[in-house]
Chain A
Amino acid sequence: DIQMTQSPSSLSASVRDRVTVTCQASQDISNYLNWYQQKPGKAPKLLISDASNLETGVPSRFSGSGSGTDFTFTISSLQPEDFATYYCQQYDNLPFTFGPGTKVDIK
């Protein structure tokens, strides 16, 4: 199975801060990587597909980059509604696997 790691596991930030989360795959997954946002008590929501493709309706302050084994997720200017947990997920191989998540909370 492909193992996904994320760092940091949590971070505290202020509104308008730039936030960066990294995700690493245990083997080359090309760009077969998605990013999800999950707010407390809610289902996850797909934000970014194919490592860097912003889903329709997702604000442009969210972005993703990377390929192979190393990926980055960035929020350019953190907004109050962005406090949530973010997960990366690979779809290069079955079983599909997720990173452990990065919780972004208020400083």
Chain B
Amino acid sequence: DAGVTQSPTHLIKTRGQHVTLRCSPISGHKSVSWYQQVLGQGPQFIFQYYEKEERGRGNFPDRFSARQFPNYSSELNVNALLLGDSALYLCASSLVEGVTQYFGPGTRLLVL
């Protein structure tokens, strides 16, 4: 079975631009979460969606937004990119809420 997939794998943007990251969960999984991992640190929680509803939001500015589609895939949008947004963005899916999350390979975003 396919694991969590994310696209693109790498992305280079300039300050002020907008970016959309995509995630497809494991088949049958209804919850998707997004994490940001800055180099040298552990991942930080950004959003969780379950059954297309936002169920949790981390301490990130409103420039970050996300949504989940009827097929349970998800998009993370970041507006007005800053240099500090450069990070590995990880998507994780789980069957339902609160159980083990399985991560995708991540999208490496570089903001110049």
Q: Are A and B interaction partners? A: no
